Each structure stands twice: as C-alpha cells, then as structure tokens.
Structure 1
Amino acid sequence: MARRTTIANRWFLKSFSAVVIVLVLLDIVLYCMFRSYFYSTVEQTLRSELNVISTVLTRYYNSSSTGSGTNYSNEVRNTVESFTKKDRMELMMINSEGKVVITSSGFEPSNSYDMPDYDYAVKDEGGIGTYSGYQSNGEKVMAVTSLLETGNTNYNAVRVITSLSKVDKQLGIIMIFIIAISGAIIILMLVLGLYFIKSIVMPLRQISVNARKIAKGDFGVHIEEKTDDELGELCRVFNYMADELENSEKIKNDFISSVSHELRTPLTAIKGWSETIATSPGDKEVSKKGMKVISEESERLSNMVEELLDFSRIQGGRFNLNKANMDVFAELTDAVIIYSEKARQENKTLLYDEPQEIVTIFGDRNRIRQVFINIIDNAIKYSAADGHIIVATAVTDKAVIITVEDDGCGIASSDLTKVKAKFYKANSTVRGSGIGLAVADEIVAAHDGTLNIESELGRYTRVVITLPVAKKDEQ
C-alpha cells in the first residue's frame, strides 16, 4: 500500500523547497554582484594609480634631453621608492624582457614573478593588461600593467599589484550576513508555515473524524468555527449538513412512526370488523356497516401504498410521466367532484366556480389529477369545522394558476419552509403519511411548474399551483 501524502509533506516538498531554492539562488546572485562590484572598484583604483604614474613618467621622459639617461633612471627610481600607497599596493617597473627591475617594497627584484597581466598588456592594443588570481605562494591578488610609450627598454612597463585578502574578507562578512538573513527567513517561514498547515490540518482531521461518526449514525457532532475564511465556511457547511442530516433522520423516524400508526389503524379496523361480521353472520345491519368500514379503510391503505410507491420511484429516479395534451380544468373539476361529497360529510363547504374555457397543458393526466386530489384532500383535512375550501383558477398568456385555500389552523412560519420536505408533517395530530405534498411538489416540478404555499397560523393556508400552458406547436 502506497504511503499517503499529507498536506504538510506536499507543502514542504513544493512550497518550502521552492523558497529555499530561490533563496540559495538569490544568495549566489548577490555574491556574484558584490564580488563584481568590489573587484571592479579595486581594478578602477589600480588603473587610476597606474594612469597617474604612467603620465608622470612619460612626461618626464619626453622633457628629458637624453631620455634614457641617468636623470630619467633616477626619476623612475625616486617615483617607485616614494610611492605613498605601498601599504595597500605594490608598484613595479618592468623592462622589455618582462622582468621586474624595481619594486616599491624595497625587496630585491625576483625573476620568479608570475605576471599574466604583463603578457596581456603586450598583446593588448591599448597596452594595458589586468589579472586577478592566485600567486605561487597561494595569495590572491589583482594586478594591472601598463606599457610606457617611452621606448626605454629598461623601463618598458609599470605594474601595480594589490592583495585581495581584505576584499575577500569583507565580501565574506557580507555573505555571512546575507546567509544569516536567508536562514532567518527560512526558519521564520518554516515556523509560520507549520503553524498555518496545522491550522488547516487540525480542522480537516476533525471533519474527517466527525464524518466517520456521521457515517455511523451520530448526527450530533459539530466542528468549532474558529476562522472566517474558506476553512471556516467549510466548517459551517459541515455543521449545517450535520444539522440537516439530524433533522432528516428525525423526520424519517417520525415518518416511520407515523406510517406505522397510519397502517395499523386501518388494519385494526379491517381486522376488527372482519371478526365482527364473522361472529354475526345473520345481522345485515352490522355486516353492511362493517363492509363500508372495510371498504373505506382498504381505500386508505391503497392510497397510502400508492404514495409510498410514488415516493420510492422519485427517490430511485424512476418517476416516469406519460405526457400528452390535456384539459387541465377538466381534471381539476373531476377532483373537486370526487371530494365534494367528503367535504359535505364533514360539514364543510367546497366552493368552486367551474371554468367554461378549455386550457391545454402538456402533462400527465393522472399525475396532475393526483396533485389536485392531494391538495384538496389536505385542505379538507386541515380546514376548520364548518369551514370553507375555495378552489379558484386564473389564466395568463403563458401559465394557468390554480389556487386552493382553506380557513383552517394554518401553518407556523417555522414549518412553512419545511412543509414540502419528504416525511414532514406540520400537524402530527392529523392522519397522513407526510409525503403526499412532497410527491405533489415533485410532479408539478416535473411539469416545469411551481407549487407555493402561503399561510398564517390560525387563519388560512393557500396553495398556489402554476403550470405552463401548452405551446402552439404542442397543441
């Protein structure tokens, strides 16, 4: 099994490593820049000194009557011996054979000098050569040689040389400072990065742990919301999800309890009256009453089972519609007729002014009638004693609007947003499975329509169904 790559590992391998590489490259670039600057400064200083000395000697040579005589030699020797900057650099005179003849240090000239700069000067058109490197004794130096335009073979060139040890030492101090800053940046970034990664990883681990708890059925878990960023939003969404799952679980349990009760009631009635009829075979009145109860309760069971089947089809994505052009008001009228008798038996008034026009929609006739039946049935159930149920219609250019209003107990504002949810029952004292309205909402949505509920607790409930009329090319 491959080792799991954590966020911290990925951050270290990518971001942290990239920063370290950039800092190292930056240190190298800075070193090269400072080295170039310091060495260029030393070279300019040497060239400046060399230019002054060369100018003085050339002028003296040109002004001397003999040029190569004793006076010129003395002047050269005096210039070299009186060189004022011998504590920082050394002045040398070189003959035409490339040998040092005089030095400002006072040491006897040696033929063992390594002078690549003299060779460069001889080859250079301008007569100037520069060299930086190590001498035979291991000392790092920089030297500049300039050929004299005098024609004197004894003093053919002037050379200035200086040690680079102090420059390299200064350069080393600067680089130590730069490396120390880079190291501090790396350490600071490591500390802040680990803190930042921890602030991300810990909530994610908590989410992972709580997600496993939710998977096992524990919906009461929550995550502390410490930040107001994307991670905080993730925690809020997770807590919202946990609350919704807990609420859904509660609704589902209530639904199971409600359905169990709703199934038990008609089954108990059917069983009881069946036994009564069986024990009273000669009593026609009892048999007639019992058969009526059995028929009604069987119808209730059939409707409940049909609702459960519809709900199962919706959940499984197998909710198919057989759409065709249909008269929506004809189906509404049939539903009103079916429930008019029920309203009368419960001493309630169902008011409906049947439209005379024909309005065509493209839909499933049976499903649309199922929606109307469910809405009207609910209105009768929840309306007040001796109450009124009003069924009204309206038509626009693009839609037909059916409104069913009752003057019953109404729905609390806290329940109004949930009343179309699956399994939800705003009033647990009223018989029903709690999924009929959810199924009706799904059916209307499948017809590109809307089902909206308006209510005021203790006064009324109004259901507004809007369905698009069939287009001319569909009619």
Structure 2
Amino acid sequence: MAKKSITRRWIVNNLGVVVLALLVIDMAIIYAIQNYFYNSAKQYLVSKLNAVTSVLSMHSQDSSSNFSAEMRKMLETFNEKDKIELMAINSKGRVVLTSSGFSPDADDPMPDYDEALEKSEGDHVYKLRGGEKILAVSVPISSMSSEYSAVRMVTSLTAIDETIKNYALAASVVCVVIIFIIIATGLYFAGSIVRPIQQISGIARKFAMGDFSTRIDNDSDDEIGDLCTAINNMADELSATEAMKNEFISSVSHELRTPLTAIKGWAETLMIDGGGSPDTMKKGVGVIVNETERLSQMVEELLDFSRMQNGHFTLQNANMDVLAELGDAVLIYSDKARREDKEIIYSEPEMLPFVFGDKNRIRQVFINVIDNAIKYSSAGDTVTIIAYEKGGNVIISVADTGCGIKKSDLAKVKTKFYKANHTRRGSGIGLAVADEIISMHGGTMDITSEGEGKGTTVIITLPAVKQ
C-alpha cells in the first residue's frame, strides 16, 4: 500500500478546493462582465429606439405629414447605420424597411418582436443562420400607425464578445497566476513542515535503537520549533536516564558483589577451619548476618521501586505514632554510629500528634534518611534529629555534618538511579523511594545543603491528624 504524504494530501484536498473556488469565481466574473456589456448595449439600443419613437410620435400627430414617408426618410438618414441596423416592421410582422437597405429572410426568428407585442418592449440575443451573434430590441408603434406595428434595432455582438473574451482571458490568467502562487507557497509551507517531521522521524528511529547522541537542527520559533526543542530535551533526559541506569546497574552489581564476596569468604573460612576459635566463629557469623541484612535491604528497595513503577505499591494506613517509629529508627543506628565514631543527637519531644499513614513505610523512610546521614558522614561528625509540630504538620529534621551535596546535584538527588557521591555505597534509588512514600502520605521531603563539606539537612513534613 503506497504511503500517503502530507504534500500529496495537501495538493489533492486544499489545492482542489482552491482551484474549484477560483474556477467558480472566474465563471462568475465572466458572467458578470458579459451581463454588464450586454445590458449596456441593450440600454443604448433602448435609448436610441426611444428617440426614434419620440420623433415618429410627433409625425403621427401631425396631420400634414406622411407617416410612411417620414419613416422611410428616418431609416435612410439613420446616422449609426454602420453599427446598428434600424428596421420597420409592418402590421403583418414582416420587416419592410431597413437602414441598410437589405431585408432579413422572412423565416428568420424575431423573438424580441414577439415579446414586444406582449409587453411595451422586447429584447433578445440569438444567433443568425450564418453564426453571427446579434442583439435585437423592438418597440411597438401600432398606436401611431396602422401600417407599421413596431420599430426594431439590431446590432452585432461580435466586437462586444471579443472584448468579453479579452476580459475573460485576463481573469483566467489572473486565476492561473494565483493558483501557481498558491502551489509555490503551499509546497514551501508543506515542505517546512514535512522536512522537520522527516528529520524527527529519522532521529526517533535512532532513539528507538538506543542512540541518543543525535539532535534535531532547529531554526524556527513556531510549533514545529517547539516540537523539535521538546524532542531534543527528551533526548537529553533519555540520555541522562540511560547513563544513570547504566551507572545504577554498575553500582548495584558492585553493591551486590561486595556483601556476597564477604559472605562467601567467611563461609569458606568457617567451613574449612570448622569454626576455629569462638571469636572467629562469632565474627564470621556476625559479618554474614550483617551483609545478608544489607543484601535484604537492597533487594527490598529494588522491589519497592519496581512496585512503584508498576503501580502496585500500596499503603496500610492507620493513625500512627511518629515518635515510636522515629525512635526505633534512631535505636537501630545508634550502635552503628558509635562503632564508626559518629554521634547521633536526638531531641525527642514528649508528644506529637498522630499521623494517618503506614507505620512500616514511614519507619522505612526514617531508616533510609538516617542511614544516608551516617553513610555520608565521616568519623567525628554528628547527626542531629529533631521532631516537632508546626502549622498542623509533624516535621522531622535530620541534619548531618558530613560531605554535603553540590548545588548542581541538589535538584537530582531524589531522581531514580542518581548518585551524587560515587565514593559511598548505595543503589541510588533509596531517596527516590522515600520521596515517593512521603508524597503518597500527602507530605514533602526537602533536601538542602550549603555545598560540599558543609553537611546535609533532610526535612520531612507529614500532615497531622486533626484532634
């Protein structure tokens, strides 16, 4: 099946309508011009006939004059006989006198004369047997003379038709020029749309194959330009996402390999030595348990992220005590912080309002944030945790004095797969999951930092249950 192009469709549809419209306009113009010239010729003949009948009327009222002789004299002295033929028609409907001296054939039609007998005036355009086109106008004069029934003027339309033909030709030429202009401008306009679309189509195929390096040349400021800009921006985002995804895979692979190596190494040691000394046994089992827990936490993060992507992430909401979940999270990391020569300062208030949410997910967020605060701090640093109520919200602040975050990375740290600091372990999706959980609870998670080496503050805001 042949592919339909925009240009061909435009030519068939739009140009067809335009050509049809111009054809109708051209025919209307020609018809109007013909009517104008024919009416002008008719009015001229009518005015001439009125002048003739006025003179004849005076002669008919003059008893001393011979009406028939005056009629003959008027026809013989008619001053426009080179352009117009003046005729006198007798009471039997036959042309008996003409200004040219030549009478028409007896069987030539005179529809204008028949019309004049019914009305006060008759006119008609028709062709003679020789093919000449004429205009004839008749006026009855039976009231003036019993011998004559009408006077008639006939003029050839050859010159008028030639003039009309010239005007029609000029109008047709104008229409053709307009059509060519419309074709040229239309093809240019269609090309200005089709060319970028073809370029976009080609680059989109490259995007589909995973090549995000090409960009669309954009030199227009219209909707096509906006589309090109949007696609270029999309390519930038896809390229960045692809890079983060590859980095994430590399990072997760490294994160998985490290604990697996430790577990395998200690398992082999314990298996070969048969456990060795109790201290060795205890240390080895402790490493295996800790690394297994670390693997379990990482796998749980990956599962949560997958559920969020698939829309299967659900909450078990109920009124919950935020202080209890925050206290558990602090307790989990207190011993770890002490072992790493880091200090956790927790100012626990006596009471906070309840929060409507999933306590396990909220505790997961607290654990993730506190774990990051300790992870990105060095020996001797402190992690300060404060919880309070403000404006109908429960606010939890976790501030560390660790490595901090660059200003350029602050807007991206909650993006999936993104890691601001590649020297510390982590999958790069923990904050993305935490931010999504807080958003599902109707809250916010804001991350601020004064820069590298100046620490980081995470502020979690959750709406309190109204008492």
The normalised TM-score by structure 2 is 0.96
CA distance in 1, matches of 2:30, 2:375: 89
Give the letter aligned to residue 38 of structure 1.
F
Give the letter aligned to residue 186 of structure 1.
I
Q: Is the 8 A contact 1:102 1:109 kept in 2?
A: no
Q: Is the 8 A contact 2:405 2:451 kept in 1?
A: yes
CA distance in 2, matches of 1:102, 1:119: 18
Give the letter aligned to residue 180 of structure 2.
I
Which secondary structure does the structure 1 equivalent of 2:314 belong to? coil
Give the letter aligned to residue 94 of structure 2.
K
* Alignment match of 1:312 (pick from 306, 310, 313): 306
Q: Is the 8 A contact 2:67 2:145 kept in 1?
A: no
Q: Is the 8 A contact 2:343 2:381 kept in 1?
A: yes
CA distance in 2, matches of 1:152, 1:75: 12
* Alignment match of 1:111 (pick from 106, 114, 138): 106
CA offsets, 1:443-464, max 9 Å, x none? 1111122212112212132212
Q: 2:199 is matched with which residue?
A: 206
Q: 1:25 is matched with which residue?
A: 24
Q: Which moved more, 1:35-44 or 1:148-157?
A: 148-157
Q: How does 1:126-137 map to 2 (within 5 A)?
A: 127-137=120-130
CA distance in 2, matches of 1:241, 1:35: 63
Q: 1:300 is matched with which residue?
A: 294
CA distance in 2, matches of 1:90, 1:108: 10
Q: 2:407 is matched with which residue?
A: 413
Q: Is the 8 A contact 1:58 1:150 kept in 2?
A: no
* Alignment match of 1:197 (pick from 190, 193, 200): 190
Segments of structure 2 that go 5 or more residues without pairing to the other structure are none
CA distance in 1, matches of 2:359, 2:174: 80
Which secondary structure does the structure 1 equivalent of 2:106 belong to? coil
Q: 2:91 is matched with which residue?
A: 96
Segments of structure 1 that go 5 or more residues without pairing to the other structure are none
CA offsets, 1:411-465, max 9 Å, x none? 1122112111111100000011111111111111111222121122121322121
Q: 1:42 is matched with which residue?
A: 41
1:278 positional shift: 2.9
* Alignment match of 1:65 (pick from 56, 63, 66): 63
Give the letter aligned to residue 26 of structure 2.
D
CA distance in 2, matches of 1:19, 1:213: 39
Q: Is the 8 A contact 1:402 1:466 kept in 2?
A: yes
Give the letter aligned to residue 455 of structure 2.
Y
Q: How does 1:128-207 map to 2 (within 5 A)?
A: 128-148=121-141, 150-207=143-200
The normalised TM-score by structure 1 is 0.94
Give the letter aligned to residue 54 of structure 1.
T
* Alignment match of 1:123 (pick from 114, 118, 125): 118
Q: Is the 8 A contact 1:93 1:101 kept in 2?
A: yes
* Alignment match of 2:353 (pick from 322, 346, 359): 359
Q: 1:253 is matched with which residue?
A: 246
Q: Is the 8 A contact 1:422 1:435 kept in 2?
A: yes
Give the letter aligned to residue 118 of structure 2.
K
Which secondary structure does the structure 1 equivalent of 2:206 belong to? helix
Give the letter aligned to residue 65 of structure 1.
S
CA distance in 2, matches of 1:167, 1:461: 95
Q: 1:377 is matched with which residue?
A: 371
1:19 positional shift: 0.8
Q: Is the 8 A contact 2:78 2:99 kept in 1?
A: yes
CA distance in 1, matches of 2:21, 2:322: 73
The CA RMSD measured in Å over matched residues stands at 1.6
